[in-house]
Amino acid sequence: MKKRVVITGAAGFIGSHLAETLLDRGYAVIGIDNLLTGDIANIAHLAGNPDFQFIKHDVTNYIYIDGPVDYVLHWASPASPIDYLELPIPTLKVGALGTHKALGLAKAKGARLVLASTSEVYGDPLEHPQRESYWGNVNPIGPRGVYDEAKRFAEAMTVAYHRYHGLDTKIVRIFNTYGPRMRVRDGRAVPAFISQALRNEDVTIFGDGSQTRSFTYITDLVDGIIRLMLSDVNDPVNIGNPREMTLKELAETIVSMTGSSSRLVYRPLPEDDPKVRQPDITRARTLLGWEPAVTVEEGLKITVEYFRTKI
């Protein structure tokens, strides 16, 4: 019998890449998504695979899966600022109720659960780079609080199931990730900058562009997630690229790479926007033998070519 993996949020950017890679590695995959922010086109190429099954379902409701389950990967959630500002209550519900239902499924099946958490649990950090031991600096009632606190609560519930029920759980704190299948109007920096540059429109930077991010290519992230899934590690693990760059540097790189005539324009910085973001990946390196293999320049070239087909 092939190992069976349930992925919530399977039609999303990361979820679809996880499904594809796990199928390639010999797993059977059951994908669940209510398509609120996911896109069925992301998994359309998997439809003919006998080891792939898709269920349209809202995971804030009870999740029923027939037969054995070995792993539950809980990836369902709006994940871009545009999404969670437009969908604040669904974001909170999937972080709380959805995580509860995913944990319940894992407990019922004796499965291992992997929670998609985020670097946003660190908020606008006062520690730099961010280690997993850092508790974060989050505004619970700010506009970003619905996402930050949903993920922080999801982590707390996941750890509670591990401690109280003895469930084997993993928590991956994902830093900015990019690659094919991101939406053109995603709202995050890479798709926004690329789509504007390809249209020769002004490239919009919020603030003065000095705020930093660390960008991980999707294949590196998926490799790190699967390594964590197969490990005996239960503490949270940062998976991200420790190379830090300013958003202005990213925008200039993309404009140059696309041969665009776009100019950079500046707009006010949104409330609670983090000033810095850089993972300390000591834990991933030592416990998982993981570090990113794809440079930002290599990853951006592939991503730009994908977006050329969408613009």
- Is a pLDDT exceeding 90 seen at residue 243? yes
Per-residue pLDDT tens over the stretch 248-261? 999 999 999 999 99
- Per-chain mean pLDDT for the chain: 97
User: In CATH, what number does 4-177+216-241 get?
Assistant: 3.40.50.720
The string of DSSP letters for the chain reads ---EEEEETTTSHHHHHHHHHHHHTT-EEEEEE--SS--GGGTGGGTT-TTEEEEE--TTSPP---S--SEEEE--S--SHHHHHH-HHHHHHIIIIIHHHHHHHHHHHT-EEEEEEEGGGGBS-SSSSBPTT---B--TTSTTHHHHHHHHHHHHHHHHHHHHH---EEEEEE--EE-TT--TT--SHHHHHHHHHHTTPPEEEETTS--EE--EEHHHHHHHHHHHHTSS--S-EEES----EEHHHHHHHHHHHHT----EEEEPPPTT--S---B--HHIIIII-----S-HHHHHHHHHHHHHTT-
Look at residue 205 in the predicted model and tell me its pLDDT. Answer: 96
pTM for the structure as a whole = 0.97
Per-residue pLDDT tens over the stretch 13-46? 999 999 999 999 999 999 999 999 999 999 999 9
Return the CA Rg of the chain: 19
In terms of Cα–Cα distance, which of 220, 249, 211, 1 is closest to 125? 211
In terms of Cα–Cα distance, which of 286, 299, 294 is closest to 250? 299
Per-residue pLDDT tens over the stretch 69-113? 999 999 999 999 899 999 999 999 999 999 999 999 999 999 999
Per-residue pLDDT tens over the stretch 275-306? 999 999 999 999 999 999 999 999 999 999 99
Give the residue-averaged pLDDT of 160-178: 98
Per-residue pLDDT tens over the stretch 214-236? 999 999 999 999 999 999 999 99
In terms of Cα–Cα distance, which of 8, 23, 131, 136 is closest to 61? 8
Q: How far apart are CA 311 and CA 306, in angstroms?
A: 9
Q: Give residue for tokens 């000033």.
A: 275
Per-residue pLDDT tens over the stretch 135-168? 999 999 999 999 999 999 999 999 999 999 999 9
How big is the CA angle at 255 (ends 254 and 257), to the nearest 5 degrees?
A: 60
Q: Predicted confidence band at 272 (pLDDT cuts at 50, 70, 90)? A: confident
In terms of Cα–Cα distance, which of 47, 71, 76 is closest to 61? 76
Q: Where are the domains of the chain?
A: 4-177+216-241
Q: Which residues are catalytic?
A: 147
